[in-house]
Amino acid sequence: MDTFFVANCVKSWSKIYKFYTVLILYVISQSQLSQCEKTVLTPNDISTMPITIASYGPDVARAKKYVYLSGAAYCFNIPAWKCPYCEKAQGFGYDFHALIVNKQANTLAFIAINKELKEVVVTIRGTLNVANVVQDIHPSILSIETGSSPLGRGKSKGPEIRIHTGMINATNSLYPEIVEKFGKVLKENENFEVVLVGHSLGAAAASLTLFQLKEEIRLPADFPTPKSYAYFGYGTPRLGNQAYADYWNGQAMQITRVINKADFAAYTPPSLGGYVHHGNELWLSPTGEEKVCSKTVYEDPNCANSIASMSNLQDHLQYWDVEYLSCARADPLATAGQFVIPVV
């Protein structure tokens, strides 16, 4: 018979909160450099590479709207659509449609629809449990070209794309069900725009989900084509190499990657491992400025990278008025369940 224990014999919510904080700090301390690149790129190399990003610049207004959907992903009863962030999203016209959960990987996503704006939004939850932390700190990076990855290449035939193993695994734990439920929604709502949204690990999984959809990877033959795609990520970690960044930077579509102040996730995994951010950066600076960063470099040294030495956890946990752990604190028993580990 399986027995269960709670880490450190948690007896109160304060201990649970401290445990979760320690886990995330562990992610920072244990980030390992990958040996995937023959030539190691320095932060200066990356920041000075000449490139014009073709994707449309950051959309601040939409970013302030989708942030509530990214917050709603952390609620424990999303289908009820009654949490503070669910209600905020509902105020913008978004209604809950479907929940997608992988219990083994402890990952979660949901689909919301805005009939008036003709949008379907797929939101993926970020790190909230031990399984997610394991995905975050996975030390390796895999090639999509070699077949060593569970992903297979589709239409794109560019340079070798390499992406973070744990983030691939988190993505693929949800992808088949996303394709199934998302495809049905598109068939019922023709000519709708599709938006992928996420915070933290969820932002990485949203990007990789969108990559697979764009590349038509493991899609049924009758999968409908939406009007357009867009991406909004909050606290997105670096998840791929330069080829992955080039892929997105060459797409004529809306890509907004939001970084709050010195959010530690913006600096992980380290760029020395060959990881590069993709898309347009919208930086919420410590002075309160909403800064649209340069479109001619991979990572603007005048934006979030200018205060990398100040990286911290708190900036990761709050974007505008969305506090990602607020629902967790409101339901300590459900949160404790996230840290219960089965022992066989």
DSSP 144-165: SSSS-SS----S--SSPPEEEH
Give the integer Cα–Cα distance in Å for 311 and 308.
Answer: 5
Reading the chain (344 residues) residue by residue, the pLDDT tens digits are: 333 333 333 333 343 334 444 444 433 333 333 333 333 445 455 445 545 676 777 899 999 999 999 999 999 899 999 999 999 999 999 999 999 999 888 899 999 999 999 999 999 998 764 444 444 444 555 555 543 344 444 555 566 788 888 888 889 999 999 999 999 999 999 899 999 999 999 999 999 999 999 988 889 999 999 999 999 999 999 998 888 888 888 888 999 999 999 999 999 888 877 888 998 999 999 999 999 997 777 788 999 999 999 999 999 999 999 999 887 776 666 555 554 444 43
CB–CB of 258/284 below 8 Å?
yes
DSSP letter, residue 243: H
Contact 240, 215 (CB under 8 A): no
Q: How long is the chain?
A: 344
* Short-list 243, 130, 257, CA closest to 204: 257
Q: State both tokens at 63.
A: 């970013």
CATH number of the domain located at residue range(s) 60-338 in this protein: 3.40.50.1820
Do 203 and 234 touch, CB atoms closer than 8 A?
yes
CA angle 234, 235, 240 (to 5 degrees): 105
Give pLDDT, residue 208.
Answer: 93
Tokens of 290: 């909403």
Contact (CB, 8 A) for 57 and 280: yes
Give the model's pLDDT for residue 342.
44
Position 168 scores a pLDDT of 85
The predicted pLDDT at position 270 comes to 83
Return the closest-CA partner of residue 34 out of 273, 238, 239. 273
The pLDDT of residue 13: 32
Q: Is the pTM of this model over 0.75?
A: yes
pLDDT at 281: 94
pLDDT of residue 247: 86
Q: What is the reported pLDDT for 157?
A: 56
pLDDT at 273: 75
Select from 208, 216, 219 the least CA-distant residue to 248: 208
What are the residues facing 241 on neighbouring strands? none
CA–CA separation, 241 and 151 (whole Å):
15
Residue of 178, 151, 154 whose CA lies nearest to 165: 151
CA distance linking residue 74 with residue 63, whole number of Å: 18
Give me the residues paired with residue 95 across strands: 113
Separation CA 181–CA 194 (nearest Å): 13
Q: How many CB atoms lie within 10 A of CB 145?
A: 17
Closest among 69, 135, 145 to 102, alpha carbons compared: 135
- pLDDT of 144 reads 59
Tokens 């930077």 — which residue?
249
CA-CA-CA-CA torsion sign (54, 59, 64, 68):
negative
pLDDT of residue 39: 38
- Name the amino acid, one letter, at 159: P
* Closest C-alpha among 195, 269, 208, 211 to residue 237: 269
